[in-house]
Chains A and B, each alone.
Chain A
Amino acid sequence: MKFLPFIFKHLRRNWIRTASTVLAMAVCIFLFCTLQSVLAEVNTLLEASSGTRLVTRHAVSLVFNVPLPYAERVKTVPGVKRVAVTSWFGGNLLAKKEAAGGDGSESTTDWSNFFPNLAVDAEPYFAIYPEFQVPPDQFQAFMQDMQGCVIGRKLADKFGWKVGDRFFLESFIPPYRKRDGPFEFVVQGVFDTDLAKYPGTDTNIMFFHYKYLREGTGRQLGAGTLTVEIDDPEQAGRVSKAIDALFENSDAQTRTETEQAFRAGFISMAGNLALLLNGIGLAVSFTILLVTANTMSMAVRERRTEIAVLKTLGFSSATVMGLIVAEALLLGVLGGALGIGGSQAIMWALTNTPGISDALAGIGLSELNLKPFVAALGFAVALFLGLAAGFVPAWSAYRSRITDMLRTV
């Protein structure tokens, strides 16, 4: 500890260089922590998937619907327990919230308050998803009301909605729009979840009757996807193949996969998300390693005479090496702390900024935050970068002979 002021004084010697290095390190750790937090959140989302659930969609793209009669045929496949029609509605609140009995003629949408909303075949859907715990009386009321909807607790808290409230949604998907204005909904239930039993379950979501969507638009709509519950998770591969085989020779071939694979594919439509994010993190870390190593080498080279003086005064080579490594580690500590703080701040800002937080919620990242293990990992990376950057110049100082270093005055 008695050497710490000495190390700090050296770091202050060229404060612009020190600050630049710390900032570079901070940017690296900031990116690392932020990207890893996104990945961790995505993984949590995927872990929330059940092994007994499959998703059947159009083989070409999610943009195309699966014909409705497919649901009945899928039910006949051995091993299939339930099938629920599911469609991503993509509805947005109108800019002005409608009061009960409003005519809904307003067409301006409020994108800043976007939240996930799905039209589902309610009875089988809620049986397939036990994590959405709707009180029985409210579920009963929901089933009896065509305009009824159930909303998650987080959504209810966000808008202050309660049972009996009404609101309007208009989809950004043209076939899901009514000719006479937006869809009107009545909150018939508010569901909770048991996060200990179903970790990663998001209650910032709304469900309503698929039948209402179909009849409201007056179009022959298909299903966005079919959510399939199977008896045995071990049979997921066989059942998926059997389902897809049913429609192999039809115009609308299907692709069936586990819910986890479906979500992973949905989240990483742009490619392999994990590979991309880790790749970015690795490239940035390596670049910063080179920058920091260069800085440390320059700093040590400038101090060759001082290192010789220290050794002459009786500082052992190991002590001198330790001082240089400690200096590099301190750069890592400062950069790491700054990067972790910045990452935490940006995630807080994102999840608390209207519009952005809703967009994040829309892709299931409403809980985005800096997890302790990601922060610890980020700090470890910062320390490693500092150590790796400082080791070579420190080793060089360790090996250098006093007389050689004094001769370079």
Chain B
Amino acid sequence: MVDVQKVRKVYHRDSQEITVLDGIDLQVPAGEFVALMGPSGSGKTTLLNLIAGIDRPTSGKVWVAGTDVAALSESALAAWRSRNVGFIFQFYNLIPVLTARENVELPLLLTHLSKRERRDRALTALKVVGLEDRATHYPRQLSGGQEQRVAIARAIVADPKVLVADEPTGDLDARSAEEILGLMETLNRDFNKTIVMVTHDPRAAQKAHTQHHLEKGVLKQ
């Protein structure tokens, strides 16, 4: 499902060149649940961003769901993301002026679905994460764990092939984190979603089938 080949990512700050990823090779089969671990600044999030198609490698190839992500134009990449990738952020990043249902419905605005179909799908996604009774609540009316579940519903509503999660439990208490990880396991097991998760938390990483460690931009098995 994910095939990262000899990927390098270099940032330029003034005249300084900073190598964040240095020749990464990573394969994630379909239906896998992979955890990317490593200290801060090791390049985990950068690698995740490349897989999600929100950043481009300096060199190398990133194939996701059979597409060479780096070869797509900006607009084609946006359309590709909407169909293939669901992104779960550390800080949920829900739109505060929209209700839980409206937040979940956002990715569906890019489809040709009718208003009723969008609404039904959003409610189904909320049901999957156990928040169908909070559909009309605004983010400020939800707990952190509930907000993250709404964010997960938003990530899965368009039925993407890959879910990428950047520290999904990083802002949650232990109980909420456990719930979120359980939900991700369910999505992986019951809905066959391929999940790539960045985490600092070893307990979270244990939920994944495979763990990869990054250090100074290099992958250590």
Whether both chains belong to one complex is answered with yes
Q: How far is the CB of A2 from chain B (nearest CB, A)?
A: 6
Q: How far is the CB of B84 from chain A (nearest CB, A)?
A: 9
| Residues from chain A with Cβ under 8 Å of B107 in the complex | 313-314
Q: Which of A169-208 contact B (CB under 8 A)?
A: none
Interface stretch (choices B48-56, B174-182, B207-215): B48-56
| Residues from chain B with Cβ under 8 Å of A312 in the complex | 52, 54, 81, 87
Q: Which of B86-136 contact A (CB under 8 A)?
A: 87, 89, 91, 93, 95-98, 102, 106-107, 109-110, 115
| Contact yes or no, A309 B95, CB < 8 A | yes
Chain A window 1-38, contacts with chain B (Cβ cutoff 8 Å), 1 for yes, 0 for no: 01100100110110000000000000000000000000
Output the residue of B75, B83, B97 with the most chain A CB within 10 A.
Answer: B97
| Residues from chain A with Cβ under 8 Å of B82 in the complex | 313-315
A-B contact count (CB 8 A): 64
| Contact yes or no, A402 B55, CB < 8 A | yes
Bound together, the chains give a CA A401 to CA B46 distance in angstroms of 13
Q: Which of B91, B102, B109 contacts A409 (CB 8 A)?
A: B91
Q: Is A123 an interface residue (CB 8 A)?
A: no
| Residues from chain A with Cβ under 8 Å of B61 in the complex | none
| Contact yes or no, B97 A313, CB < 8 A | no
Q: Which of B89, B91, B96, B110 contacts A314 (CB 8 A)?
A: B110
| Contact yes or no, B154 A313, CB < 8 A | yes
Q: Which of A286-334 contact B (CB under 8 A)?
A: 305-306, 308-319
- Ranked 8 nearest A-B pairs via Cβ: A314-B82, A316-B78, A402-B54, A9-B97, A314-B81, A309-B93, A316-B75, A313-B107
Q: Is B30 an interface residue (CB 8 A)?
A: no
Q: Is B79 an interface residue (CB 8 A)?
A: yes
| Contact yes or no, B49 A403, CB < 8 A | yes
Closest B residue to A402 using CB positions: B54
Q: Is B74 an interface residue (CB 8 A)?
A: yes
Bound together, the chains give a CA A32 to CA B102 distance in angstroms of 40
Q: Which of B78, B97, B98, B154 contacts A317 (CB 8 A)?
A: B78
Q: How far is the CB of B212 from chain A (nearest CB, A)?
A: 21
* Sample (6) of A-B pairs whose CB atoms are under 8 Å apart: A3-B109, A12-B97, A306-B93, A313-B110, A314-B79, A316-B78
| Contact yes or no, A13 B96, CB < 8 A | yes
| Contact yes or no, A314 B97, CB < 8 A | no
| Residues from chain A with Cβ under 8 Å of B98 in the complex | 6, 9
Q: A9-B98, A13-B97 are in contact. List 9 more A-B contacts (CB 8 A).
A: A2-B115, A306-B95, A309-B93, A310-B106, A313-B110, A314-B82, A314-B83, A315-B82, A402-B55
Bound together, the chains give a CA A3 to CA B78 distance in angstroms of 17
- How many chain B residues touch A (Cβ–Cβ < 8 Å)? 28
Q: How far is the CB of A33 from chain B (nearest CB, A)?
A: 33
Output the residue of A10, A311, A314, A409 with the most chain B CB within 10 A.
Answer: A314
Closest B residue to A311 using CB positions: B78
| Residues from chain A with Cβ under 8 Å of B110 in the complex | 313-315, 319
Bound together, the chains give a CA A13 to CA B96 distance in angstroms of 9
| Residues from chain B with Cβ under 8 Å of A12 in the complex | 97
| Residues from chain A with Cβ under 8 Å of B74 in the complex | 316-317
Q: How far is the CB of B97 from chain A (nearest CB, A)?
A: 4
Q: Which of B160-202 contact A (CB under 8 A)?
A: none
Bound together, the chains give a CA A305 to CA B49 distance in angstroms of 15
Bound together, the chains give a CA A311 to CA B52 distance in angstroms of 12
Closest B residue to A401 using CB positions: B55
Q: How far is the CB of B213 from chain A (nearest CB, A)?
A: 22
Output the residue of A6, A10, A313 with the most chain B CB within 10 A.
Answer: A313
Q: How far is the CB of A3 from chain B (nearest CB, A)?
A: 7
Bound together, the chains give a CA A409 to CA B115 distance in angstroms of 32
| Residues from chain B with Cβ under 8 Å of A409 in the complex | 91
| Residues from chain A with Cβ under 8 Å of B93 in the complex | 305-306, 308-309
Q: How far is the CB of B38 from chain A (nearest CB, A)?
A: 18
Q: How far is the CB of B62 from chain A (nearest CB, A)?
A: 14
Chain B window 126-159, contacts with chain A (Cβ cutoff 8 Å), 1 for yes, 0 for no: 0000000000000000000000000000100010
| Residues from chain A with Cβ under 8 Å of B83 in the complex | 314
| Contact yes or no, A403 B75, CB < 8 A | no
| Residues from chain A with Cβ under 8 Å of B80 in the complex | 314
Closest A residue to B86 using CB positions: A313
Closest A residue to B94 using CB positions: A309
| Residues from chain B with Cβ under 8 Å of A308 in the complex | 93
Closest A residue to B54 using CB positions: A402
| Residues from chain B with Cβ under 8 Å of A317 in the complex | 74-75, 78
Closest A residue to B74 using CB positions: A317
Q: How far is the CB of B148 from chain A (nearest CB, A)?
A: 14
| Contact yes or no, A6 B49, CB < 8 A | no
Closest B residue to A310 using CB positions: B106
Q: How far is the CB of A14 from chain B (nearest CB, A)?
A: 10
| Residues from chain A with Cβ under 8 Å of B106 in the complex | 310, 313
Closest A residue to B73 using CB positions: A316
| Residues from chain A with Cβ under 8 Å of B154 in the complex | 313
Bound together, the chains give a CA A305 to CA B151 distance in angstroms of 14
Bound together, the chains give a CA A409 to CA B91 distance in angstroms of 9
| Residues from chain A with Cβ under 8 Å of B49 in the complex | 402-403
Q: Which of A6, A319, A403 contacts B54 (CB 8 A)?
A: A403
Q: Which of A320-354 contact B (CB under 8 A)?
A: none
Q: Which of A360-406 contact B (CB under 8 A)?
A: 401-403, 406
Closest A residue to B83 using CB positions: A314
| Residues from chain B with Cβ under 8 Å of A2 in the complex | 109, 115
Bound together, the chains give a CA A313 to CA B49 distance in angstroms of 13
Bound together, the chains give a CA A319 to CA B82 distance in angstroms of 13
Q: Which of A226-280 contact B (CB under 8 A)?
A: none
